[in-house]
Amino acid sequence: MSQAAPPNTPEREAFYDAIEPESMRALWSVMAGIITPEPKSGCVPYKWSYDSVRSRLIEAAGLITAKEAERRVLILENPGLKGSSKVTTSLYCGVQCVMPGEVAPAHRHTQSALRFVLESSGGFTAVGGEKTEMQFGDFVITPNWEWHDHGNTTDEPIFWLDGLDIPVVQFFDASFAEGYGEDQQPITRPQNDSAARYGANMMPLGYERAKPASPIFNYPYARSRDALEQMRRTEEWDPCHGLKMRYINPVNGDWAMPTIGTCLQLLPKGFSGAQTRSTDATVYVGVEGKVRAHIRGQIIEFGPRDVFVVPSWHELKLEAEEDTVLFSYSDRPIQEKLGLFREQRGNQ
Ligand code: 1HN
């Protein structure tokens, strides 16, 4: 396919102008811009330092309660996608703060959400009638259309990262949302019920899941971190990703969420990864250690709780100065199902 539009002539331009009011457009005049030979995105590499996000949230807490805000969140908006509330072209990212004694009132929506807990020694979230406690590093799911509310019964502010598929739902014009009408939904199931039912390498005989999201809604950091620690003993490192595990839906082995793929990875001290790129723009969250990321020539250094974004098809190379753990999420599950996902490893 030729890469440039055919040259304009006065007659052609007059023709384009003439058909515009009739809601028509000449494909050949725009084709090169919409069918690109490789991904072209407004999304740019960027890092948010946790210290500045956290202090802005504390400042926000002086301005508005969690209840009045409904969710006291600062959106991490990609500077290349200004005004869009997007962190990548297809995904949303924010950091939420709940102060001691506050609740974020119950509501539901067709957007799916993940939480990655940044600071909490006992805040809770309730999803579909079950409560779970949130601890640092926990990965928590709110499947779409489930009632959810959050609360802080500790005496310290709590913070977590919210990842949602808002732009995907927006793209399909499929957004629905409603408030529960009370701050908290009734708790109808014991705490850790879903972890016991579906998270112990067993599930109730005859169980059939109607929904695509995992029935487990808290993947505790202690368990995931321990798995990485046990596995490192074999020294089987992926040249690009170190040791990278994906969170799964135990019912079918698919990704834990239908629209957002989530991973936890360990890079050992001194790791110097091979270059890689993939079509799923990815949001990384530092959990432990320190990393230097080379993203298409740009160097970004980041540590615990910092967030950075790697746009689609941007070459990435990760180097770790010390043992490092990263959480990440992307739209990979959707791309895989549509046959769009591509990954290039090394320079081939
Ligand atoms: C939401 O429901 C939460 O439940 C967080 O904590 C962020 C951003 C947009 C729409 C809904 C939450 C959100 C959100």
Q: Does the CB atom of residue 112 touch ligand 1 within 6 A?
A: no
Domains of the chain: 46-345 (2.60.120.10)
For residue range 46-62, what is the model confidence (pLDDT) as tens digits? 999 999 999 999 999 99
For residue range 109-132, what is the model confidence (pLDDT) as tens digits? 999 999 999 999 999 999 999 999
Helix, strand, or coil (residue 167): helix
Share of the chain above pLDDT 90, in %: 97
For residue range 6-49, what is the model confidence (pLDDT) as tens digits? 999 999 999 999 999 999 999 999 999 999 999 999 999 999 99
Backbone angles phi, psi at 2, to 5 degrees: -65, 150
Q: Does the CB atom of residue 73 touch ligand 1 within 6 A?
A: yes
Mean pLDDT of 136-151: 98
Please identify, by atom number, the ligand 1 atom nearest to the C-alpha of residue 73.
7
Share of the chain above pLDDT 70, in %: 99
Backbone angles phi, psi at 272, to 5 degrees: -130, 100
- Asked whether residue 2 carries a pLDDT value surpassing 60, the answer given is no
In the reported structure, the alpha carbon of residue 160 is separated from the centroid of ligand 1 by a whole-number distance in angstroms of: 11
CA nearest to 268, candidates 293, 236, 295? 236
Please identify, by atom number, the ligand 1 atom nearest to the C-alpha of residue 75.
8
In the reported structure, the alpha carbon of residue 71 is separated from the centroid of ligand 1 by a whole-number distance in angstroms of: 6
When pLDDT is cut at 50, 70 and 90, the band that residue 239 belongs to is very high
Q: Does the CB atom of residue 94 touch ligand 1 within 6 A?
A: yes
Burial class (CB in 10 A: 0-12, 13-18, 19+), 311: buried
Burial class (CB in 10 A: 0-12, 13-18, 19+), 193: middle
- Asked whether residue 266 carries a pLDDT value surpassing 70, the answer given is yes
- Across 7-30, b (16+ Cβ under 10 Å) vs e yields eeeeeeeeeeeeeeeeeeeeeeee
Q: In this predicted structure, what is the pLDDT of residue 4?
A: 85
- Asked whether residue 68 carries a pLDDT value surpassing 80, the answer given is yes
Q: Which of 67, 70, 73 to mutate to test the pocket of ligand 1 (most atoms within 8 A of CB)?
A: 73
Please name the residue whose Cα sits nearest to atom 14 of ligand 1.
71
In the reported structure, the alpha carbon of residue 108 is separated from the centroid of ligand 1 by a whole-number distance in angstroms of: 9
Q: In this predicted structure, what is the pLDDT of residue 50?
A: 98
For residue range 163-189, what is the model confidence (pLDDT) as tens digits? 999 999 999 999 999 999 999 999 999
**Integer Cα distance of 52 and 191 in angstroms:** 34
Q: In this predicted structure, what is the pLDDT of residue 210?
A: 87
Q: In this predicted structure, what is the pLDDT of residue 348?
A: 58
When pLDDT is cut at 50, 70 and 90, the band that residue 346 belongs to is confident
- Asked whether residue 1 carries a pLDDT value surpassing 80, the answer given is no
Pairing of strands 148-151, 103-109: antiparallel
Q: Does the CB atom of residue 98 touch ligand 1 within 6 A?
A: no
Please identify, by atom number, the ligand 1 atom nearest to the C-alpha of residue 115.
6
Mean pLDDT of 69-83: 98
Please identify, by atom number, the ligand 1 atom nearest to the C-alpha of residue 142.
4
Q: Which of 118, 132, 149, 164 to mutate to test the pocket of ligand 1 (most atoms within 8 A of CB)?
A: 164
In the reported structure, the alpha carbon of residue 281 is separated from the centroid of ligand 1 by a whole-number distance in angstroms of: 21
Q: Does the CB atom of residue 104 touch ligand 1 within 6 A?
A: yes
Backbone angles phi, psi at 21, to 5 degrees: -65, -15
> Where is pLDDT greater, at 348 or 47?
47
Please name the residue whose Cα sits nearest to atom 3 of ligand 1.
71
Mean pLDDT over the full length of the chain = 97
Mean pLDDT of 270-286: 98
For 233, left (φ over 0), alpha (ψ -120 to 50), or beta? alpha
Mean pLDDT of 325-341: 98
Q: Does the CB atom of residue 71 touch ligand 1 within 6 A?
A: yes
